[in-house]
Amino acid sequence: MGTESARPSVRCTHCELPVPADLVDRDGGPSFCCNGCRTVHATLNELGLDGYYGLRRTLGSGTDVKPPASGSNTYGVFDRESFVERHVQQREDGLCEVEFLLEGVHCAACVWLVERLPRAAKGVVEARLRLSDAVVRLVYDPGAASLSTIARALDGLGYPPHPVQGEERREIEHRADRRRLVRLGVAGACAGNAMLLAFALYAGEESGMDRAYEQFFRWSSLLVGAVALAWPGRTFLRGAWAAIRTRTGNLDLPIAIALVAGGIVGAIHVVRGSGEIYFDSLCVLVFLLLVGRHVQQRQQRWAADAVDLTRALTPLACRARRGDETEFSEVAVDELEVGDVVEVPSGGLVPADGVVLSGRARIDQALLTGESEPVSVDVGSSVHAGTRSDGAPLHVRVEALGANSRIGRLMEVVQRGLAAKPPIVRLTDRIAGWFVVVLSTIGIACTAYWWAVADLATAVERTVALLIVACPCALGLATPLTLAVAVGRAARRGLLVKDAGALERLSHASTIVLDKTGTLTGGRPEVVAWCGPSELRSIVVALEARSSHPVARALVRACAQGPVPEATDVVERHDGGISGVVDGRTVGVGSPRWARERGFEADADLAARALELESTGHTVVLVARDEKVRALAALLDAPRPGALAALDDLRAAGHRLEILSGDADGPVRRVADLLEVPLEHARGAVDPEGKLARVRELRTSGGQVVMVGDGVNDAAALAAADVGVAVHGGAEASLAAADVYVSRPGLEPLVDLVAIARRTMRTVRLNLGLSLAYNLCLGTLAVTGHVDALVAAIVMPISSATVLAVALLSLSRPLGSHRVGRTEPFDDAVPALPSATTRADRTKENGDESSRQDEVTTCR
Amino acid sequence: MSTLLLAVVGASLLGSLHCAGMCGAFAAIAMSSRRAGSCSDAGGCGPDLDGTSGRPARAAALQSAYHGGRLLGYVALGLAAGAAGALLDLGGVLAGLSSAAAVLAGATLVIFGGVELARQLGLRFGVWKRLPRPAFLNGLVRRATRTDRPVTRALAMGVCSGLLPCGWLYAFVVTAAGTGGPFTGALVMGAFWIGTVPILAAVGFSSDHLRRAFGSRVQLVASAAILLLGVATLVGRVELDATALARRVEDTAAAQGPSETSSLPDPAATPACCAPDGD
């Protein structure tokens, strides 16, 4: 038979037996005598067990073994320096943070599972999974675990991790989608076939089928059922296994128990040749459950898009030109790449961070900087995503996109806030944990009862229905989802909420500490009284026309009427006044101190008026002609229109108001008076340290404190308060200390914020109630046998759809309109003498441009 | 049936040198005594593969765990294959074919063994598209090697052996399917297991000597054994079938017997009318 010449000389890389010439690898790679050897070889290599070959060599059987190629599934890449540099963030406490995109995340149960990772993998300190985009944020100790071991642990739980990257991410989602659809298809085919076989069997029972046919159909059902359980049904089995390993209850566990129990009982009956086989129900169940999951996934992706903050604040499509193209064409912003040139039309949102190549415009970047005044941009200026352009169309070269853009990084902060669980979410988690325990107990009781009362088949059927219908998905989904939607809605209103827990706290009655400037008032003085001959008004305008001082702007606004004479020799020394020559006469406008220093005299009436006005918080400006004071203007940093109504709203919501301001006591008390805040709750001349002390004092006295202030100057007080709301200072800086950043001026956003918070918590409670009630009702029906497993599987996704719909709908209703119509009274001004006050040195000018012209009272 | 089982044990014993080569690695992992978590400077982490297991009692425990695991895996395969064979048989009966599973299994084995044999003799068939490697196997083996308890590890490695896509192993699985019943299938795989125990138990002692002694003839012998096994399946089933057929006829007769005998006149007996008077 076998001749020496026919014997091949190549030996199997694994077992060292000769490889038939037919199977020798022609490219010189490793050759194997059989598929089994190839598999073992690859497995050993991938698991790093290839030391086996070296060992065998030293034992002396000796052929050369090629060094193994590194495996692809060991996540060895994750330990490379370049990878760590790119994806891992060092924390100050020596721990590291990393984010992975997980495959196979499908519902709230996965969140519980993944977050038990610290139990399953040594060195992992914390794991937080965002369900909306399946990204897990891990905190780990680099000394105790390498990234690859953590990645393998995640893989072992059934969630292969991937580094988070835009392109790759879409690819992975795509692949996971495809796999899900294939599973769905297989499950569908199995269900269809199993039903057909079941029909045949039922029909046969009626008409008396041949025994052989019946047996054939029963065995075929077994085959189809086995395929359905082993392939599409594996999703549940794997989930259950992971739950067992991490010793957590999850939804897959009861389903898997039901499937396995049904499968085993059915198989035994098939082999015995008699008794009920459950394969038709099992197949249909697997199919329906997968359909439910698919629907849920869709809903979740839809919800994720709805709350994707960066997307909400940047346009979805834009006109762009790529490479050496000359024409602009419409592209989705998702498809933009760094280096593309985008065209931003007048009034359009900038889609990405970049540099202006051509065009001039003014950019409103209030969202980022809090600066309501648009900034002029020219060729070479940087513009940021999410800001609004006004002017000529801009051509912008893209430099950073999506998550890498300034707004993207900002939203990252906000999203992290969502991942850090606010108390209400932790409460829901606890409820859900208990829910699983209670459910299992009821399940066991249900089985025992029906087995005793009826038979095993009834018991199994009802328990399975119960376990499926009582899916805690809605329960687990409701709260985080509602909060995410709320944060998204708030962002669209210019309210960036960093900590979702702030919404919960804001919904309770608390003491709201308000800063005066820029919040209660426009931060911009307005002329409220004029005493003196009105022909002097045109002189004031002539002098102040070119000054940029807030007081000068206010004077010009108030006095501009009729022809303006020419002013010459205008001198502005920034010492509290301005002087010049109009119509050949020397004139001057300035503070009382400025006037006194120059020796300008005023008559007694005017001086008394000035004193009185100053004592009531006005800023007084004197107008002199021919070195004598002839008129005075009184200015007020007046409360914003609607401020009183807004405060009334807050008071109606049960909040106590307090004003703390760095401004002088007089103006603060005046504003407090106008806004009906008790004077004992209004304090002026409080420095940032004083505000911090007051916040602490209020907190120790037991109440909850909401601090509204400047994101930079009042950072300490904002951080010390239960909820810090920053109204100035730029979003990035503010959110370091504050929980909420308000990018719109005025008090309405604050009222909106409180309204959103209250509505959010109402929705959370409603959703919790809904899902508990749903579970209670249908659970009861299932136990009593009024809902069978198949109906349960159909109803299950409806519950989470309801929760989702409630969250989205209730939060997208417009907020209630503010009460308007209350007028803000102003004191009549009386003439007074000049006294020693300078112009209030106000540099902040945060009022909205569309100012109203307050009626200026004039002296008789 | 017993003939087939004997043939299986024999074939398995003859071809088991192949097992020593292929599964030797798994056996070595199973026999290693070190804990999974410990790392050495040179060899990285995971079980070491020195094949020494310390105390004899411990080695025996590991051996029995590993082989027990293999037995479990094989028997499970045999059950599944036998069930599939039963289904095939039922379908065959409905289609008017008898012993479809046996015929199909036998033919498969004969073709497979023939091809392998021809390959060993230098004939070329070309390589078919390589089977994809079962992805779950990696995960299972990885989990198995990570375990801290050596006995569990040995058991798991044994179970994993049954999942290797090895032609030799699946030749016996096909044989099991050919028996057309889950229990007979399990029996066949049990017989296969018996044949493989001696050589795999010897891994770590001196299987190299054996291998040198047999050289390339191992595969030749194994291929021939598969071919013969195919023939045995065909013939064995036919035998089995004949007895079964006979039994069925008897059953039918037994079921119909009493009523028929009472209604039909006995040809041997003289009708009552014609009977002579009883004196």
Q: Do A22 and B25 touch (CB under 8 A)?
A: no
> Which of A26, A34, A224 best probes binding to B when mutated, by most B CB atoms within 10 angstroms?
A34
Asked which of A97-111, A272-286, B154-168, B188-202 is least confident by mean pLDDT, the reply is A97-111
Predicted pLDDT of residue B71:
92
Measured CA to CA, the distance from residue A250 to residue A106 in angstroms comes to 12
ipTM over 0.85 threshold: no
- What is the CATH classification number for the domain harbouring A556? 3.40.1110.10
Q: Residue A49: its chain B contacts at CB < 8 A? A: 25, 29, 46-47, 49, 145
Does residue A811 belong to any structural domain of this protein? no
* For range B87-94, the mean pLDDT: 79
- Please tell me which of the candidates A17, A21, A155 has its beta carbon nearest to residue B21: A17
Summarised one tens digit per residue, pLDDT across range A360-384 is 888 877 667 656 567 788 888 888 8
Q: Which helix (H) or strand (E) element contains residue A98?
A: strand A96-102
Single residue among A55, A72, A89 that ends a domain in this structure: A72
Q: Domain check: are A2 and A37 in the same one?
A: yes
Find chain B residues with C-beta within 8 A of A47's C-beta: 46, 138, 141-142, 145
Q: Assign B231 to helix, strand or coil.
A: helix
Among A102-111, A360-369, B7-16, the range scoring the smallest mean pLDDT is A102-111
Q: Which helix (H) or strand (E) holds A291?
A: helix A279-307
Give how far B68 is from chain A: nearest CA, Å: 20
Q: CA-to-CA distance for A478 and A462, rounded, in angstroms?
A: 27
Name the residue of chain B whose CA is nearest to A213's CA. Answer: B94
Looking at the fold, whether A493 and A591 belong to one and the same domain comes out as: no
pLDDT in tens, A24-79: 766 666 777 777 777 777 777 776 666 666 655 554 443 333 333 333 356 777 77
Looking at the fold, whether A260 and A319 belong to one and the same domain comes out as no
- Structural domain includes residue A110: yes
* Residue A843 lies in domain: 527-634+836-858
Q: Are both A224 and A269 inside the same structural domain?
A: yes
pLDDT in tens, A725-759: 887 666 666 777 788 888 777 788 888 888 888 88
Start-to-end Cα distance in chain B: 57
Distance CA A527, CA A553 (A): 10
The residue ranking higher by pLDDT, A22 or A286, is A286
Q: How confident is the model at residue A451 (pLDDT cuts 50, 70, 90)?
A: confident
Arithmetic mean of pLDDT, A541-564: 79
Tokens representing A493 are 């209103």
A334 and A216 housed in the same domain: no
Of the residues A701, A720, A754, the one at which a domain ends: A754
A633 has a pLDDT exceeding 60: yes
Distance separating alpha carbons of residues A128 and A416, to the nearest angstrom: 10
Q: Output the six-digit token pair for A292.
A: 């439910």
Instruction: Indicate if the pLDDT at residue A217 is higher than 50.
Output: yes
CB contact under 8 A, B208 and A61: yes
Rounded-to-integer distance, Cα A738 and Cα A461, Å: 54
Cβ atoms within 10 Å, residue B42: 7
Which residues of B are less than 8 Å from A46 in CB distance?
138, 142
> Is A765 part of any domain?
no
In a domain? residue A210: yes
A778 assigned to some structural domain? no
Q: Average model confidence (pLDDT) for chain A?
A: 76
Least CA distance to B217: which residue of chain A? Answer: A2
CB count in 10 Å sphere of residue A794: 16
Asked whether residue A175 falls in the same domain as residue A296, the answer is yes
Tell me the C-alpha distance between A768 and A773, whole Å.
Answer: 8
Question: Both A176 and A277 in a single domain?
Answer: yes
Find chain A residues with C-beta within 8 A of B24's C-beta.
15
Work out how many domains chain A is built from and give that number: 6
Q: Are residues A620 and A748 in the same domain?
A: no
Tell me whether residues A220 and B87 touch, CB distance under 8 A: yes
Which residue bears the tokens 């979740």? A300
State whether A83 and A152 are in the same domain.
yes
Q: Which of A2, A37, A49 sits opposite B46 (nearest CB)?
A: A49
Please indicate whether, in this complex, the C-beta atoms of B22 and A15 are within 8 angstroms of each other: yes
pLDDT for B190: 92
User: Could you tell me where the beta strands, DSSP code E, fall in A472-522?
Assistant: 495-497, 511-514
Residue A451 in any domain: the answer is no
Please indicate, yes or no, if residue A773 is contained in any of the structural domains.
no
Q: In angstroms, what CA-CA distances link A716 with A664, A697, A730?
A: 21, 14, 16
- Token pair recorded at residue B68: 């027990």
Indicate if A507 and A644 belong to the same structural domain: yes
- Here the CATH number for the domain that contains residue A118 is 3.30.70.100
**pLDDT tens track for A671-683:** 888 888 888 888 8
Taking contacts as CB-CB distances below 8 angstroms, the residues of chain B near A42 are 133
Helix, strand, coil fractions of chain B, as percent rounded to 5 = 75, 0, 25
Pair (A581, A552) in one structural domain: yes
**Closest residue in chain B to residue A153, using alpha carbons only:** B143
Q: How many CA atoms lie within 13 A of B179 on its CB side?
A: 26
Q: Which of A307, A332, A349 is the last residue of a domain?
A: A307
**Same domain, residue pair A273 and A349:** no
Q: Which of B51, B87, B166 sits opposite A36 (nearest CB)?
A: B166
Query: Which of chain B's residues have a Cβ under 8 Å away from the Cβ of A73?
Result: 138
Give the residue on A whose Cα is nearest the Cα of B85: A219
Domain membership of residue A630 (yes or no) is yes
Among A44, A45, A49, the residue to mutate for chain B (most B Cβ within 10 A): A49
Q: Output b/e per residue, A504-517; b: 16+ Cβ within 10 A.
A: bbbbbebbbbbbbb
The 10s digit of each residue's pLDDT in B151-205 is 888 888 888 888 887 778 888 888 888 888 888 899 999 999 988 888 777 764 4
Q: How many CB pairs (< 8 A) connect A and B? A: 153
Optimal mutation site among B216, B221, B226, B252, interface A, most CBs of chain A within 10 A: B216
pLDDT at B75 over 80: yes
